Structure 1
Amino acid sequence: MFTVAALYRFTPFPDPAALKPGLEEVARAGGVTGTLLLAREGINGTVAGSQPGIDALLAHIRALPGCADLEPKVSTAEERPFARLKVRLKREIVTMGQPGVDPLAGTGHYVKPADWNALISAPDVAVIDTRNDYEVAIGSFDGAVNPETQSFRDFPAWWEANRERFRNKRIAMFCTGGIRCEKSTNYLMSQGVEDVYHLDGGILKYLEEVPAEDSLWHGSCFVFDGRVSVGHGLEEGPHLLCHACRRPLLPEDRARPEYEEGVACHLCAHETSDTDKARFRERQKQIALARARGERHLAGD
C-alpha cells in the first residue's frame, strides 16, 4: 500500500531553483515518486511512497518559506501510481496565463465541505466546474456548469464569452484539490465579480469528509496519477487511462471497436493520423517487451 499526497501552496519563492536539489534529495532518499512543480508563486504536486518517505518529504516542504501549515490531501493506492520522481521549475504552478492573477492578493470565500451542499443548492448560486472537459466527463456536482475547456488556460476566455449568463448570481467554483480555484476566483474578483466562493480542499476533501449518502457528487473524480480516478472515501475508482490521449476510460470501453491499447480509444481514434498510430504502436511494442522482461517502461505510466 502506498501513501499518496496531493499538495500545493501559493507562497513567494524568490529563487525556486535553489529549492530543487533539496526536494530531490529528500524524496529520493525516501523512495518517493511523483511530480513537484516549483515557481516563484509556490509549489504544487502529487507524490507517492511509503508513509515514512512521505512524512519526511512533507516535513521538508513545511520547512520552506510560507509552507509551515501545509495540509496535503492524503489517500492510498494499491500499486505505485508514479514510476519516477520529477521536480520541475515552471513559470506558474498551475498555468492560467494571466500575469495579473495573484491568489496571495485575495481569493473567493472558502467553503468547508460540510457547508458546500447548502451553498450550491441555493437558487441564487451558479456552480462552475473549473476543471477540463475530460475530467468533468466522469463526474461532477449536481447542476454544475461545464465550461468544456481543454486546459485551465482556456478559462478566462470562456468567462469573457459567458459572463452575462451569471449576472446577479453568486458564483461557487470547485476543482480537484483547490489550486485552480485559488486562481480562478482571484481572476473573477479582478473582473468585478463580488460574491465568489470556492470549495476548500477541492473535490478530494469533499469526497474524504462528506458521507456518500449525503453527497451531491455524482461519478468519479479524475486524478493525475496511476489510479486515474477516486470516489467517496478516496477509494480508487474503476477508470483506466488511454495512453494515446490521456483520457479516462471505463473497463467496458476496451471492448469498443475503436480501442487499441496504447494506440487509440473511442474518444481519440478520429483525432490522430495513421502516422501517429504507427508511432503509438511502436511505443506499445516497447512497453510490452519491457513487461515481458519484468521491467517497467516509463512510457507506460
Structure 2
Amino acid sequence: MKKFLFNRYDKETLKKRVEMDTRERRVISFYRYVKLEDPIQFRDKLYDAFEDLGILGRIYLAKEGINAQFSIPIENYEALRSAVDSIPELNKIYFNDAVEDKKESFIKLAIKVRKKIVADGLDDSKFDPSDVGTHLTPLEFHEALSEPGVVVVDLRNNYESEVGHFENAILPDVGTFREELPLVEDLLKENKDKKILLYCTGGIRCEKASAYLKYKGFSKVHQLRGGIINYAKAVQDAGIPSKFKGKNFVFDDRLGERVTDDVLTVCYTCGKPSDRHTNCANLGCHVLLVQCEDCSKELLGCCSEECKNIILLPEDVQKNLRKENIKNKKYPTHHLTRKLVGR
C-alpha cells in the first residue's frame, strides 16, 4: 500500500485526532546549518521517519540546513534520538526541549522545502555564515548580563519581545527578521568595540546575525546557546531568578511559554495588563494581537467590532467577502490604527 508523504486530513479531523490521543507529548526544537544536497529527497525520507514516530510540527529544509519545531509522544523520545543520529547531516544535533509541554502545540506534520531555513534577506556569498559569535551557555549568559558596558540585543520581532525580554535589552521595533539586521547594525554603530550579547527564541536567528555583525566589524559578538528556551530551563534547574521577564513567544498553537509572572504589555482592546496572544477569529483578518480574555469573549474572539460583525454573517457570505477582498487586493486595516500602550 502506497504511503502518503503529506497530510490528507482537514483541520477539524486533525484536532479530534490530537484530542483522542492520550499520550503525553514533548515539544522539541532543533536547527543546524548543514549542506543538504537534495532537500526534496531529504524531506521525503524525514517525513516517512517522523510520521512513524507520531511527530506533529513544522519543519523547514533548504540547501543550507534544517529548522524544526515539533511535538512527539514522550514514549518515542529515545527512538527519535536514534533516528536522528542515524542521519549523517543531523547526527548528535542538540534537542531544545520546551519549558511547557502541551499536546495542542501542533495538530499535523508539515515538512517544507524553502530557499532558506530563516528568511534573513542576506546574500550569504558576501560573508562567511559559519564565522559565528562566541556561544555562551545559559548560566554564562546570565552572568555576562551583569557585566558593565555590555549591550544586549533581542533578535526577535516586536510582537515577540513585547510580552517578554531580558532586562535592559535593545528591542528593535520590526515585524520580520529580514528588517531587523540592517536596523540592529545601525542601532549598534557606536558600540563596535563593546561586548554584545545576542539572544532569540531558540538560537537560530543568532547564528546568521552574529556572523553578519562580525562581517560588519563588530569584534566582541556573543550569543545565547539554545536561546530563551534553554535559558529558562537552565535558571529554573539552577534555582536562580530569571533575568528574562514575562513570556517567551513561540511559533506554535501555544503562542507563548510562561517564564516569569511579569506581565509586560497590555490588551490592545481595553488597555488592561495582558500578555495573552491570539489571532482574530475573522479569517479575513486573522491579525495577531494581545487581548485579554474578557475582551476576547466580548468580541467573540475578534480584534474589533468590525470583525465581530463579519463573523456573525452566514459562512457563505463570509467566504464571498474574503474572495472579493483578495480579488480586489483589499485587506483589513482597522487593526493598524491600534495604540500600543507602553511600546
Q: Which residue of 1 aligns with 2:69?
A: 46
Deviations 1:32-60 (A, max 9, x none): 11111111111111111212444434433
Gaps of 5+ in 2: 1-23, 261-273, 281-285, 320-343
Among residues 253, 278, 287, which one is paired with 1:241 in the alignment? 278
1:221 alignment partner, one of 239, 248, 262: 248
Which residue does the alignment assign to 1:251?
Answer: 293
Structure 1 residues 249, 32: CA separation in 2 closer, same or farther (over 3 Å shift)? Answer: farther
Q: Please give the per-residue CA displacement for 1:225-275, whole angstroms capped at 9, x wherever unaligned.
A: 122211349xxx9734224223454435526x6x441x426xxx8xxxx69
TM-score, structure 2 normalization? 0.71
Which residue pairs with 2:92 in the alignment?
Answer: 69
Structure 2: distance between partners of 1:69 and 1:207: 22
Q: CA RMSD in A?
A: 2.9
Do the aligned partners of 1:3 and 1:74 also contact (CA within 8 Å) in 2? Answer: yes
Q: Which has the larger radius of gyration?
A: 2
2:56 is the alignment partner of 1:17: no
| Change over 3 Å in CA distance of 1:215–1:36 after alignment to 2 | same
Answer yes or no: is the 8 Å Cα contact 1:36–1:44 preserved in 2. yes
Q: Which has the higher contact order (CA 8 A, sep 6+)?
A: 1
Letter in 2 for 1:251: E
Query: What are the ranges of 5 or more consecutive residues in structure 1 without an aligned counterpart?
Result: 287-301
Q: Give the C-alpha shift of residue 84 in structure 1.
A: 1.0
Distance 2:88 2:68 in 1: 17
Query: What residue number does 1:264 align with?
Result: 303
Change (3 A) 1:239 1:41: same
Q: Which is further off, 207-216 or 14-23?
A: 207-216
CA distance in 1, matches of 2:42, 2:133: 29
The amino acid of 2:287's aligned partner reads C
SS of residue paired to 2:69? strand
Measured in 2, the distance between the counterparts of 1:231 and 1:82 equals: 18
Structure 2 equivalent of residue 99 of structure 1: 123
Q: Deviations over 1:94-121 (max 9, x none)?
A: 1101022777521101111111122122
Instruction: Quote how far apart the aligned CAs of 1:78 are.
Output: 3.4
- 1:173 is the counterpart of 2:198: yes
Summarize the Cα distance change of 1:231–1:156 in structure 2 as closer, same or farther, 3 Å threshold: same
Q: Is the 8 A contact 1:33 1:48 kept in 2?
A: yes
| Structure 1 partner of 2:235 | 210
Sequence identity, in percent? 25
Q: Give the residue type in structure 1 aligned to 2:214.
A: M
Native 8 Å contact 1:11 1:65 kept in 2:
no
2:143 aligned counterpart, secondary structure: helix
Query: SS at the partner of 2:32?
Result: strand
Seen in structure 2, the aligned counterparts of structure 1 residues 210 and 69 have a Cα distance that, compared at 3 Å, is same
Contact 1:49–1:80 (8 Å) recurs in 2: no
Query: TM-score normalized by structure 1?
Result: 0.80
Aligned partners of 1:69 and 1:230: how far apart in 2?
26
Secondary structure at the residue paired with 1:71?
A: coil
The alignment partner of 2:89 has SS state of: coil
Q: Give the alignment partner of residue 113 of structure 2, picking from 83, 89, 94.
A: 89
Counterpart pick for 1:79 among 90, 97, 103: 103
The structure-2 alpha-carbon separation of the partners of 1:238 and 1:170, relative to structure 1 and needing over 3 Å to count, comes to closer
How many angstroms apart in 1 are the aligned matches of 2:132 and 2:292? 36
Question: Quick check: 1:13–1:65 contact (8 Å CA) kept in 2?
Answer: no
Which secondary structure does the structure 2 equivalent of 1:47 belong to? Answer: strand
CA distance in 2, matches of 1:280, 1:195: 56
